């Protein structure tokens, strides 16, 4: 991906920049609760938020909106799609929760009780309860033990929580409603909320869950896989969060030049 690809979208109108959080603007870490944004990420996103007429930022994450806001340190001025689109927060801070998430609450409570009884954090597991979904992290657990426990979890969900499904990410199983959710759904919601065309939309993501968004946006959009080389339907790739931040900085710089040129006329 050549530097300045985001800024090259500006002549066509307002730019929509969609960003995954973990692994995209924050490094992957076993300390999930303290995954801070990469150097410069918070500052450049805040810069972009000040020029909402020409650029809109949407953070699309598997985390809850509240958790991403806490980690990023920005609570308004940009869009947030949390829990893979089950939560959507506008730039004004208004939060909407998917009706499918509300309907699945009883089954999610069954899974919550099962996990609390079956999982021991001392074995390297982490249960991340997002309210409308539950993430079961096994990055720090033994491979064989994790495989067996995940199989038991899948069996329980199939048998006892039929309104739910398991979505597989990087060393995490996400238990969430069968209906609604997923990053393709999140992207559709963000596009509808902003009115920006796909041709002027960019999406950066590192996880297997981001592939749904890449596919949804199609070849018109600027889709970018973040991290090591892998099979992906994204058009481009960058090595990690530092390169994502650099692309955002080039966009912010181009916006600043445009403002200065406008004032000088």
The answer to whether residue 107 is catalytic is: no
Q: Please report which helix (H) or strand (E) contains residue 259, including its range.
A: helix 241-264
Q: How far apart are the first and last CA of the chain?
A: 33
Residue 255 tokens, joined? 């916006």
- For residue 153, what is the DSSP state? H
CA dist., res. 243 & res. 38, Å (int):
10
Relative to beta strand 201-205, strand 15-19 is parallel
CA dist., res. 154 & res. 165, Å (int):
9
CA dist., res. 136 & res. 129, Å (int):
9
Selected catalytic residue, list 20, 173, 210, 212: 20
Angle in degrees, CA 188, 193, 194, rounded to 5: 100
Kindly tell me the burial class for residue 81, based on how many C-beta atoms sit within 10 Å of its own C-beta (0-12, 13-18, 19 or more). buried
CA dist., res. 188 & res. 261, Å (int):
34
| Cβ-based neighbours of 196, under 8 Å, separated by 6 or more | 13, 14, 15, 16, 56
User: What is the Cα 249 distance to its own chain's centre?
Assistant: 20
Residues classed as catalytic: 20
């Amino acid at each position: 991906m050549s530097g300045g690809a985001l800024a090259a979208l500006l002549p066509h109108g307002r730019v929509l920049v969609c960003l995954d959080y973990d692994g995209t603007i924050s490094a992957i870490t076993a300390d999930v609760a303290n995954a801070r944004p990469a150097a410069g990420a918070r500052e450049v996103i805040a810069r972009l938020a000040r020029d909402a007429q020409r650029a809109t930022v949407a953070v699309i994450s598997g985390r809850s909106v509240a958790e991403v806001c806490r980690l990023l340190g920005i609570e308004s001025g940009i869009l947030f799609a949390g829990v893979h689109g089950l939560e959507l927060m506008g730039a004004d801070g208004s939060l909407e929760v998917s009706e499918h998430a509300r309907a699945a609450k009883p089954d999610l409570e069954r899974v919550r009780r099962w996990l609390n009884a079956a999982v021991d954090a001392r074995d390297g597991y982490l249960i991340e309860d997002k309210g409308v979904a539950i993430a079961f992290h096994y990055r720090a657990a033994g491979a064989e033990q994790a495989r067996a426990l995940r199989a038991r979890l899948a069996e329980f969900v199939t048998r006892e929580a039929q309104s739910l499904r398991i979505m597989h990410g990087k060393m995490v199983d996400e238990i969430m409603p069968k209906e609604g959710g997923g990053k393709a759904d999140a992207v559709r919601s963000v596009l509808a909320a902003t009115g920006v065309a796909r041709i002027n939309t960019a999406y950066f993501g590192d996880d297997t869950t981001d592939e749904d968004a890449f596919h949804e946006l199609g070849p018109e959009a600027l889709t970018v896989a973040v991290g090591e080389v892998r099979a992906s339907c994204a058009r481009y790739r960058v090595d990690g969060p530092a390169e994502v931040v650099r692309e955002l900085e080039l966009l912010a710089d181009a916006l600043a030049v445009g403002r200065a040129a406008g004032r000088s006329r």
